[in-house]
A and B are shown apart, each in its own frame.
Chain A
Amino acid sequence: MKKPKSIGAALATAVWDRGVGVAFLVPGLILLTVILVGPFMTTIGLSFTDLSYALPDRDGNFVGFDNYRRLMRDDPVFWQSVITTLQFVAVAVAVEFVLGFAVALLLSAHIRRRRVVLTLFLVPMMLAPVAVGLIWKLMLQGDFGMLTHYLRTVGLLGEQTAVFSDPDLALAAVILIDIWQWTPFVTLVMLAGLLSLPREPYEAAIMDGAGRFRIFRDITVPLLRPVIALVLLLRGIDAFKEFDKIYILTGGGPGTATELLSVYTWRVNFRDWDLGYGAVCAFMVYLVVLILSAACHTAMTYARGASGNEGRRG
Chain B
Amino acid sequence: MIDDRCRYSVLVASLLAGVMLLACSRSPETENKPPETANQPAQPGPAPAPAPKVWSLASAAAPYRGVALRTIGESLPPLEAMAKLTEKFEKSTGIEVTIEMYEHSEAVNKVMLDLNSRRGRYDFILQPHRELGRFVTNKHVLPLDRFMNDAKLRDPSFKPGEQLYQKQWKEISWYDGNVYGFPFTALTMYLWYRVDLLEDPQERAGFAAKYGREMAVPTTWQQYSDLAAWFYRPDKKFYGTAIQGKRHEALWYEWLNVLYSFGGDMLDIETGSECGPVVVNSPEAIEALEYYKGLMKYSPPDTRNYFWDDLMALMQQGKVFQVLMWNDATYAVEDAKQSKVAGKLGFAVTPQGKGGKVGQVEGWTYLIPAYSKHPEAAYLFIQWMMAFEQQLEQHLNGGASSRPDVYADPKVSEISYSQASMDTMAVARPKPTIPESPQLTEILVRELSIALAGKKTPKQALDTAAREMSQLLGSCAPLKYPVQ
Residue A206 is within 8 A (CB to CB) of chain B in the complex? no
Shortest distance between the CB of B80 and any CB in chain A (Å): 23
Question: CB distance B302 to A253 under 8 Å?
Answer: no
Residue B237 is within 8 A (CB to CB) of chain A in the complex? yes
Closest to B441 in A: A271
Residue A193 is within 8 A (CB to CB) of chain B in the complex? no
Question: CB distance B304 to A254 under 8 Å?
Answer: yes
Interface mask (A108-152 → B, CB under 8 Å = 1, otherwise 0): 000000000000000000000000000000000111000000000
Interface mask (B330-373 → A, CB under 8 Å = 1, otherwise 0): 00000000000000000000000000000000000000000000
Question: CB distance A165 to B442 under 8 Å?
Answer: no
Q: Which of A26-34, A50-58, A197-205, A232-240 contacts B (4 or more CB under 8 A)?
A: A50-58
Shortest distance between the CB of A147 and any CB in chain B (Å): 13
Q: How far is the CA of A250 from the CA of B305 in the complex (A)?
A: 7
Residue A218 is within 8 A (CB to CB) of chain B in the complex? no
> Known: A53-B116, A56-B137, A143-B237. Is A256-B446 also a contact (CB below 8 A)?
yes
> Known: A251-B248, A254-B452. Is A142-B234 also a contact (CB below 8 A)?
no
Question: CB distance A271 to B305 under 8 Å?
Answer: no
Residue A273 is within 8 A (CB to CB) of chain B in the complex? yes
- Chain A residues with CB under 8 Å of B245's CB are 165, 254
Instruction: From the candidates B302, B439, B446, name the one contacting A255 in the complex (CB within 8 A).
Output: B446
Shortest distance between the CB of B435 and any CB in chain A (Å): 5
Residue A257 is within 8 A (CB to CB) of chain B in the complex? yes
- Chain B residues with CB under 8 Å of A142's CB are 300-303, 305
> Known: A159-B234, A162-B305, A270-B109. Is A253-B438 also a contact (CB below 8 A)?
no
- Count of chain A to chain B residue pairs whose CB atoms are closer than 8 Å in the complex: 99
Closest to A270 in B: B109
Question: CB distance A162 to B301 under 8 Å?
Answer: yes
Shortest distance between the CB of A193 and any CB in chain B (Å): 40
> Known: A159-B234, A160-B301, A167-B453. Is A56-B435 also a contact (CB below 8 A)?
yes
- Chain A residues with CB under 8 Å of B302's CB are 141-143, 162, 164-165
- Chain B residues with CB under 8 Å of A250's CB are 247, 305
Question: CB distance B247 to A253 under 8 Å?
Answer: yes
Q: How far is the CA of A271 from the CA of B134 in the complex (A)?
A: 13
Q: How far is the CA of A267 from the CA of B435 in the complex (A)?
A: 17
Question: CB distance B453 to A143 under 8 Å?
Answer: no
26 residue pairs bridging A and B, Cβ less than 8 Å apart: A54-B134, A54-B138, A54-B436, A56-B435, A141-B302, A142-B305, A143-B300, A143-B302, A159-B301, A162-B300, A165-B302, A165-B305, A166-B304, A167-B453, A167-B454, A252-B247, A253-B247, A253-B304, A253-B453, A254-B450, A254-B453, A255-B247, A255-B451, A255-B456, A271-B442, A272-B439
13 more A-B residue pairs beyond the given contacts A142-B300, A254-B304, A257-B453, with a C-beta to C-beta distance below 8 A: A53-B134, A56-B134, A141-B302, A143-B301, A143-B302, A161-B301, A165-B304, A167-B453, A167-B454, A254-B247, A254-B453, A255-B449, A270-B109
